[in-house]
Amino acid sequence: MTDGPTHGFDTLQIHAGARPDPATGARQTPIYQTTAYVFRDADHAAALFNLQEVGYIYSRLTNPTVAVLQERIATLEGGVGAVCCSSGHAAQIMALFPLMGPGKNIIASTRLYGGTVTQFSHTIKRFGWSCKFVDFDDLDAVKAAVDDDTRAIFGEAIANPGGYIMDVRAVADIADDAGIPLIIDNTSATPYLCRPIEHGATLVVHSTTKYLTGNGTVTGGCIVDSGKFDWSASDKFPSLSQPEPAYHGLKFHETFGNLAFTFHGIAIGLRDLGMTMNPQAAHYTLMGTETLSLRMERHVANAVKIAQWLEQDDRVDYVTYAGLKSSPYYDRVAKVCPKGAGGLFTFAVKGGYDACVKLVNALEIFSHVANLGDTRSLIIHSASTTHRQLTPEQQESAGAGPGVVRVSIGTETAEDLIADLDQALTKATS
């Protein structure tokens, strides 16, 4: 099909990037389980390796099954291209890889997934990079944090674990004024609820493990390129604007224009970092995207019902769901996530840490796992698991204090989930 403005989201999530297999006519995208591809001749091979022709060389770089997923996610996000990789964490490193260098820094929200905080606090220092964590609700603080060595701003559209909504446009304006890209993790929102590129984001990253796949079967990540950033406007991004020695002086932005970041992600990022998505994982994720809008509608509807019930329960101190009128982020939902505030939030249990542990152990339908975005409802005590490596101050800033649990609301019958929480809260607080 030809993707265009006449096609709705529900159509694109099924058809974008996919075509009947030319060899067999297979309607579903096949799993191309192969490491390498036969070249037509020596000239064809040379053209591919010189980036003079687009095609398949080796599955660390490109694979037909993965290529369909890349095109589909890029289309759903409104980007010009995408690069899929092995996990959401891999996507974050690959997004930063062409932008950074020793001594350079990024600015990141204090409200991020605990693993991302750890990656940005500790791991990236091994590359000589650093991160400044700022409360993104304080726009003056974000602006003040930018310096001559800042190369990107990073935030989550719907923050994990608290479900806080980021004012993407406001932060994008700061990034634009500084001449640096804004990277948005859209994992919790998905392009069905939020399209960050329309709010000014340069790059969008996903853990495709979560809502895009939706069935808890495979890990994966993706970086979507908006194609709207001028990488040659300054000397801040030499990997994209200056001659690349590995390709005989080729300049990615000059050669590939608005697809410069995408081509660099494949030709340099996947080539040298090797964070490849396998074709079977891409296949499972493609099947998941086909029902994305249907699932997200149910996730949101269930989350609203359960958050409202929890908010009225005397055994609960507070609920962070942005879809509640009591939330300070409620007014932001209509602007940033017009189809709903997602299915992820936290709530605080009276009794603190010990009560949270009892609650988790007493639940029967909710699964106690370190994942989110599944059709199954999931729960975790972030302070003792996903955010365990953070300091108490970082845990509180991220919305993952010791008396808080995170829930990822699934697509089950809402009344069954409420009944399960009810009996577990009784055991946790009695």
Q: Domain residue spans in the chain?
A: 9-288, 292-429
Tell me the C-alpha distance between 81 and 70, whole Å: 7
292-429: CATH topology = Aspartate Aminotransferase, domain 1 (3.90.1150)
Residues 87-105 have a mean pLDDT of 98
pLDDT band at 383 (very low <50, low <70, confident <90, very high): confident
The CA-based diameter of the chain, rounded to the nearest angstrom, is 75
Residue 161: cis peptide before it, omega within 30 degrees of 0: yes
pLDDT at residue 337 is higher than 50? yes
Q: Which two tokens stand for residue 410?
A: 């699934």
pLDDT at 392: 76
For a pLDDT cut of 70, what percent of the chain falls above it?
A: 97
pLDDT at residue 21 is higher than 80? yes
CA angle 82, 86, 92 (to 5 degrees): 65
Are the CB atoms for 3 and 75 separated by under 8 Å?
A: yes
pLDDT at residue 389 is higher than 80? no
pLDDT band at 430 (very low <50, low <70, confident <90, very high): confident
pLDDT at 388: 66
Q: Which residues contact 387 (CB under 8 A, 6 or more apart)?
A: 114, 117, 161, 394, 395, 398, 400
Considering Cα of 172, then 164, then 407, then 403, what sign does the dihedral take? positive
Are the CB atoms for 200 and 175 separated by under 8 Å?
A: yes
- Tens-place pLDDT, residues 134-153: 999 999 999 999 999 999 99
pLDDT at 395: 72
370-382 b/e with 16+ CB inside 10 Å = b?
Answer: ebbbbbbbbbbbb
Q: 224: closest CA among 394, 109, 75, 15?
A: 75
Stretch among 3-7, 315-319, 367-371 having the lowest mean pLDDT: 3-7
pLDDT at 3: 47
Residues 201-225 have a mean pLDDT of 97
Name the residue with tokens 């769901």.
321
pLDDT at 222: 98
**Residue 92, helix vs strand vs coil:** helix
pLDDT at 342: 97
pLDDT at residue 2 is higher than 50? no
Domain spanning 9-288: which CATH class is it, in words? alpha beta
The two beta strands, 150-156 and 105-109, are: parallel
pTM of the model: 0.95
Q: Which residues contact 254 (CB under 8 A, 6 or more apart)?
A: 232, 241
Residues 295-301 have a mean pLDDT of 98
Q: 114: closest CA among 374, 373, 370?
A: 370
Host H or E run for residue 317: strand 316-319
Whole-Å CA distances, 333 to 111, 122, 164: 17, 32, 9
**Residue 200, helix vs strand vs coil:** coil
